[in-house]
Amino acid sequence: MELTPKIADKTIAVLPFVNMSSSEENEYFSDGITEEIINALAKIDGLKVTSRTSAFHFKGINIPIPELGKKLGVSTLLEGSVRLAGNSMRITAQLIDAAEDFHFWSETWDRKLDNVFEVQDEISLIIADRLREHFGHFEIQEHLIEAKTASLDAYKLFLKGRQKFNKWNPEDVKQSMAFYQQALELDPNNAEAMVGLADAHSFLATVGVIPYEVGWRKCAELTLKALSINDRLADGYYQLANLAFFTKCDFRESFEHAQKAIGLNPNHVESQQFMAFLYVIAGKNDAAHKHLSNALSIDPFSQETQFFSGYVEYMTENFDESLKQLNACLEVNPMNIPVHAVKTICLLMLKQYDEAIQYFDALPSEIVVIGEKAGTQALGYALKKDAINAEKSERFLNELADGADGFTADSYRFMLAGATARNDEAFEWVEASMQKQSPLLLLRYSDPLVNPIKKDPRYPKYHQKLFPKELFEINTEPAKKKALLDNETAEQYKAQLLELIEKEKPHLNSELSLRSLAEQLNIHPNQLSWLLNAEFGKNFNEFINQYRIEAFKHLALLPENANLTIMSIAYDCGFNSKTVFNTYFKKETGITPKQFLKG
């Protein structure tokens, strides 16, 4: 799959807000404000918001705006700054058209820290409004951010915890847990801090820093408690999806939780990646690529997205492309354990047996999972038909599998049986693993290495048990939205709007917004946005600026205005930016204002 995002109209990246405070320690707060705005805008259906990982990829790097927009695959960028001073904060934000590199809106807020969540909601709603005026119709909720806690100190600790966790290494994740725990001591009902702590436990369990069962058990406890407090946390349902898959071997439950997370937040990139994973192991390749494409458009610079892309290519038997993408991941992070695991089995499918057999010997011992090494070597020797070494390595694999924490080695017994067409042995393993809910059964069952057993009549029967067909027969496409106004009402408001424009000329007010125009019409802003799109085929800015341009054309040709500058007339017509005026004039008329005046 091409790892270059395509640019659609309703796309935005929120760049890391600059910390303008006197102390560098306040960086966590400016990062936190950025993330809150990203999460708020991500709730808006129809708006594609670049995830934190890719937005922060360019933190501190000076790149021309058009180039940055292309790299992130977005039409619009939001940048800003945060300054803390005592109990006060100043936040600035500006929206930039990425392709044209012009600022079409900016604003500054001076507020008290005590009202941080109200301020975040206020800012997010204003930004959402300006985006809708620029992009075209989408519906905006009454509130985009709710208070996470009544304790400002707990919120600051949560932000510090999230900043540490986002570094994705065991030491920083351990530090994040300390911050999350301190936040929960101040506010035991801080659901976001609970999910953060749950995520930290699952991360440390996955990489082997804490016992697998202990970590996942704590993750489940914290996640369920968080969702009992706030049942609309996409992160919480994503954790439940992982728990169902990796601790219960329950594909149905995992699939349903991941769907729930995406339903709550279509921009939740981890759930989009996980859905791609779930679909591809179930053999639904088109759906897998669709979710992978969604993940790519949200988070093009994420190593996780790159890894899942490489994994999907492996599962769909595009082994050369898979290897290329996995190697690209390792160039950035040579210590990425899951990438090494998939790369070795990819090498086996490419018949590079010797490289696969020797692969783990060249890696640092701390990232070598002994079960994966033993399994890869057993497979390599068996597939290259080295009988003596195959027997020896299989014996060692069996010893590991029968020992404590041998579930990884045990799953390679199935891979080995499947790859060498030992059908009865393979399906005996499947039956036993279903009984004990082996966490790796779902992961291994559809692997290309076991292709030799897939023609066995038992294979589709077990496949149906593991991946129920009825799950994929449910229409997961979002229902077509109903019109916000019926035909008769739409015609009435259309006539009222045109009459208002003609008589009151609201477009001459440079402070006019979609919301203020909606108030004049006594209509909800969502309905006015829909009306402009459905009945006029324009967004708010296009609709209003066409009248401003007509006003300019009329005033500019009057003899008494001959001594006025172009921009003074433009300002009188409601424009408040030279760039915006020139851009829209050229777009509307095909010529520049100077060319128009020359006739």
pLDDT at 43: 87
- Chain-centroid distance, C-alpha 350: 32
Nearest to 541 by CA among 76, 132, 125: 132
Nearest to 174 by CA among 203, 212, 217: 203
User: Measured at the alpha carbon of residue 583, what is the angle toward residues 580 and 588, in degrees to the nearest 5?
Assistant: 120
pLDDT at 3: 47
pTM: predicted TM-score of the whole model, two decimal places: 0.82
Helical axes 285-298 vs 303-315, angle rounded to 10°: 160
State the burial class of residue 276 (Cβ atoms within 10 Å of its Cβ: 0-12, 13-18, 19+).
Answer: buried
Backbone conformation region of residue 414, classed left if phi is above 0, alpha if psi is from -120 to 50, else beta:
alpha
pLDDT at 185: 96
Beta pairing partners, 90: 83, 110
pLDDT at 4: 46
- Distance from C-alpha of 18 to C-alpha of 31, rounded to nearest angstrom: 8
CB 69 within 8 A of CB 98: yes
pLDDT at 477: 59
In this structure, which CATH number among 1.10.10.60, 3.90.1580.10, 1.10.3720.10, 3.40.50.360 belongs to the domain 487-598? 1.10.10.60
- Distance from C-alpha of 349 to C-alpha of 336, rounded to nearest angstrom: 21
pLDDT at 438: 85
- Distance from C-alpha of 188 to C-alpha of 211, rounded to nearest angstrom: 25
Per-residue pLDDT of the chain (599 residues; tens, 9 = 90+): 344 444 457 899 999 999 998 888 788 889 889 988 998 999 898 899 999 889 988 888 889 999 999 999 999 999 999 999 988 999 999 999 998 888 889 999 999 988 888 888 999 999 999 999 999 999 999 988 887 788 888 988 988 998 888 776 778 889 999 999 999 999 999 999 999 999 999 888 877 788 888 999 999 999 999 999 999 999 999 999 999 998 889 999 999 999 999 999 998 999 999 999 999 999 999 999 999 999 998 998 888 889 999 999 999 999 999 999 999 989 988 888 889 999 999 999 999 999 999 999 999 988 888 999 999 999 999 999 999 999 999 999 999 999 877 888 999 999 999 999 999 999 999 999 999 888 789 999 999 999 999 999 999 999 999 999 888 876 555 556 788 999 999 999 999 999 999 999 999 999 999 999 999 999 999 999 999 999 999 999 999 999 999 999 999 999 999 999 999 999 999 998 898 899 899 999 999 999 999 87
State the burial class of residue 472 (Cβ atoms within 10 Å of its Cβ: 0-12, 13-18, 19+).
Answer: middle
> What residues contact residue 554 under an 8 Å CB cut-off, 6+ apart?
none
Q: Which helix (H) or strand (E) covers residue 415, if one does?
A: helix 407-419
Beta pairing partners, 106: 94
CB 52 within 8 A of CB 15: no
Cα–Cα distance list, 454 to 9, 196, 199 (Å):
44, 41, 36
Long-range Cβ contacts of 586-592 (<8 Å, 24+ apart) = 588/545, 588/546, 588/549, 589/549
Q: Which amino acid is at 436?
A: K
Q: Which amino acid is at 489?
A: T
- Distance from C-alpha of 47 to C-alpha of 10, rounded to nearest angstrom: 5
> What residues contact residue 383 under an 8 Å CB cut-off, 6+ apart?
348, 351, 353, 419, 420
**Could you state, in order of their start, the residue ranges of all structural domains in the chain?**
11-147, 487-598
CB 76 within 8 A of CB 128: no
Nearest to 255 by CA among 270, 225, 269, 275: 275
Residue holding tokens 């000076």?
Answer: 62
Domain covering 11-147 assigned CATH 1.10.10.10 in the classification: no
What is the widest separation between alpha-carbon atoms in the chain?
101
Beta pairing partners, 85: 88
Cα–Cα distance list, 63 to 50, 70, 71, 158, 268 (Å):
17, 11, 10, 31, 26
pLDDT at 440: 87
- Distance from C-alpha of 296 to C-alpha of 275, rounded to nearest angstrom: 13
User: What is the C-alpha R_g of the chain?
Assistant: 28
Nearest to 149 by CA among 104, 184, 120, 196: 184
Residue 108 main-chain phi, psi, to 5 deg? -130, 140
Beta pairing partners, 14: 78
Helical axes 116-135 vs 152-165, angle rounded to 10°: 60
Q: Which helix (H) or strand (E) covers residue 110, if one does?
A: strand 102-112
